[in-house]
Amino acid sequence: MNEIETKVRSFLGKYVSDPEVDGDLDLFSAGLVNSLYAMQLVLFIEQEYGIQVTNEDLDYENFKSVQAIVQFITLKQK
C-alpha cells in the first residue's frame, strides 16, 4: 500500500467503520458515503495535496473507489 492510499484510507476511516474495503469497491453505489463525505473528500484532496479539483475533474469515476482516488491524486500530481 503506498503512502497516498494509506492517507486516503485513513480519511475514509472517519466516515465508514471498515476503511479496509476492497480497493475497487464503488463506495457510492454501495451506499457507504454521502454528500458531506463527497465534499470533505474533495477538500481533503485539495488541501492535503495542493491540487485544484476543477468541475471537469469532478467526475464520479475519479472518486468512486479507493483505487480511483489514489489514481486521480497520482495523475494530478504529475
Partner 1 sequence: MSKDLKIKCLVWDLDNTLWSGTLLEDAEVYVAPETLKLIKTLDSRGILQSIASKNDHDFAWSKLEELGLSEYFIYPQINWEPKSTSIKKIAQSINIGTDTIAFVDDQVYEREEVSYSLPDVLTIDAEQVAEIEEMPVMIPRFITSDSKKRRLMYQSDILRNKIEEEFSGAQDEFLTTLNMKLSITEAIEEDLKRAEELTQRTNQLNTTAYTYDYDELVFFTQSPDHLLFVAALDDKYGTYGKIGLVLVEKTTEIWSVKLLLMSCRVMSRGVGTVLISFIRKLAKENGVRLQAEFVSNERNRMMYITYKFNQFTEIKRQEAWSLLENDLTNIPDYPTYMTINTGPHSPVV
Residues that bind partner 1 (CB under 8 A): 13-17, 19, 28-32, 34-39, 42, 55, 58-60, 63
* Dist. CA 45–CA 28, nearest whole Å: 17
Cβ neighbours for 68, distance < 8 A, ≥ 6 positions apart? 61, 62
Comparison of 13 and 75: residue with beta carbon closer to partner 1: 13
- If the CB atoms of residues 3 and 36 are measured against partner 1, the closer one turns out to be 36
The CB-of-5 to partner 1 minimum distance in angstroms stands at 18
